[in-house]
Structure 1
Amino acid sequence: MIKTMPIAALILFVSLSGCANDRSLAPPADSEQMTITVKVPKELETETLEVMYRSAVCKYITHGASGQRVELEGYHGINVQLQRQGQSDLYQARLPMDGGGACQWHLSNVMFGVKYGNPARFGENATYGAGGGVVVMFDRNRPSLSSGLPIKVDGDLTIRKDYYPWVKESFIGGYRKRVSLTGEGNIYLMYQALEARKVYFEPVFYADFVVYSAGPKVKREGNNTVINYPDGSVETDGRWGPNFRKLQEIRKAAESKQ
């Protein structure tokens, strides 16, 4: 069970229910710290920082396809809210690398990101969708939400990526309008930074370059999603979402004319 708490509460015991042994976090006062910093542009907001600690002492027991016992590193997840630094656009959290306790917890990975702050700008029924996420691995354990191979980096990690607002309308199965962030890669960018002690994420948001998509109203062969780009061009070739490279080209062409 993942629990939400302020960062200061990390120094307290956080017991997991249903455990025979004491699996609580008890970070030592002299633990090295991991600093997560997000520079948040106007119109975006920070997402909750999801933190995962793992333990080689307190095992997670499961069973294989043939019923054999399989022992994996135990896990303990918490949620942390990044704190704004004064009146700046920087939001930060500091996490102990050593989670301490009887299980000797160690920081394994974090998941965080940004989201569109006011989806209602695009209609009262609009809600936030997805995109703008980052997963960083500090060991070799796979995060629960991951696909593909991580980008491996040495030392501290600095991420600076471009994002565009994407308004997506869906009709089949009920009408939905979601406002997502579209950028390079999938919903989450994934990194492995085994030596990092600082992670800095700076999303660059181009609010004026909105891309719209509308899914088919009837499920029938040949009925594809229609994607409308900021320059007025349209795609109906069946792709699932916006072409990021095309968005970059449209923006750069517009900026060159200014």
Structure 2
Amino acid sequence: MYNQSKIILLSLVLFTVAGCNISRTVNKTLYPPANTKWVNIEVKNPSQYTKPFPIEVRYISYGCMKKRISGFDGSVITEPSYNVIGIPMQQGSSDIWEAKVAMTGGGSCKWALSAVTLGIEYIDATHLGKDLVPGTAIGVTLAFDNDASRNGQFTSSIGDLNITRKYYPYIRERKIAEKTKSLSLLGKENFLSYRVSKFSSIYFYPEVDEMKIVRYIEPSKKTDGVYSKIIYPDGSVAPEKTLFPDFDKVDKMKIN
């Protein structure tokens, strides 16, 4: 599922939307002008078991400001409004999926593109285990303005952006709080972050190698001295209390 991408994108959005003049509801209707610049996005689907999830797009408006109460001192803070929408990708030739996003959203609030999240997720997990269900997604978050990139964790990119990364299946068996077996994708970074400028196209071409499967297995119950295990494709086990798999180790691992 793309819940993880939703968390990344929606964490940028501050809650409580008031009206353009605080007394009226924000008009979130988009009317891209005829002369708007469009962002061309391509995602290559690497497997019959995966699929690009709908692009999550965030627009920002300084024309329709909102007010919220500070949780620190109760003061009133005036901030821009946000408008988050989903845009389904369309399958083009073969395994290439495409979408276009307007830089200028227009409308009465003068919406402008701020951030986009794109990527892929498993839609079928049973080929690697009959009890497996699809887990979290992987992908890219793009910042188009200073507001979206204000946390400083974005790599600067000038010109068209071509991204190719390798991912491996990651099976997680949870047995304590919830009893689930999910299949996700493991990457060096599950979501890459870029601050883009002077571009027209974004290309994301992920690769999935299902010859190397990483497993996370929880114990059946909480017991002192008994910890979850991370098992690598060659059968080796990560040191006790390891929380996340070592991607570089998996990537360099030779499997017969």
TM-score (norm 1): 0.83
Return the offset for 1:119: 1.0
Corresponding position of 1:63: 69
Q: How does 1:79-158 map to 2 (within 5 A)?
A: 79-86=86-93, 88-142=94-148, 149-158=153-162
2:210 aligns with 207
* Maintained 8 Å contact 1:163/1:203: yes
Equivalent residue for 1:3? none
CA distance in 2, matches of 1:45, 1:174: 26
| Partner Cα distance (2:90, 2:28) in 1 | 27
Measured at CA, do residues 85 and 17 of structure 1 come closer, stay the same or move farther in structure 2, by a change above 3 Å?
A: farther
Q: Is the contact made by 2:18 and 2:26 (CA closer than 8 Å) also made in structure 1?
A: no
Aligned pairs (5 A) from 1:191-206: 191-206=194-209
Structure 1 runs not aligned, ≥5 long: 1-15
Distance 2:25 2:227 in 1: 53
Match of 2:181 among 177, 183, 187: 177
Q: CA deviation at 1:48?
A: 1.5
Query: Could you say what secondary structure the match of 1:125 adopts?
Result: coil
Deviations for 1:54-99, whole angstroms, at most 9, x for unmatched residues?
Answer: 111111221222122212111111111111113x211010111110
Normalised to the residue count of structure 2, the TM-score between the two structures is 0.84
What is the aligned counterpart of 1:31 among 16, 32, 36? 36
Say whether 1:224 aligns with 2:227.
Answer: yes
Contact 1:138 1:195 (C-alpha < 8 Å) held by counterparts: no
Distance between the aligned counterparts of 1:117 and 1:247, measured in 2?
Answer: 23
How much identity, in percent, do the aligned residues show? 30
CA RMSD of superposed structures (Å): 2.2
Helix, strand or coil at the partner of 2:172: strand
Contact 1:225–1:236 under 8 Å retained in 2? no
Deviation at 1:21, TM superposition (A): 5.1
- Aligned with 1:193: secondary structure? strand
SS at match of 2:116: strand
Relative to structure 2, which stretch is displaced further, 162-171 or 121-130?
121-130
| Structure 2 gaps, min length 5 | 1-16
Moved more, 91-100 or 37-46: 37-46
Q: CA deviation at 1:205?
A: 0.8
Aligned amino acid, residue 76 of structure 2: R
Residues 191-243 of structure 1, C-alpha deviation per residue, up to 9 Å, x if partnerless?
A: 11133321111111101111112012222332222122222222242212321
Q: 1:167 to 1:36 in 2, by over 3 A?
A: same
Residue equivalent to 1:235: 238
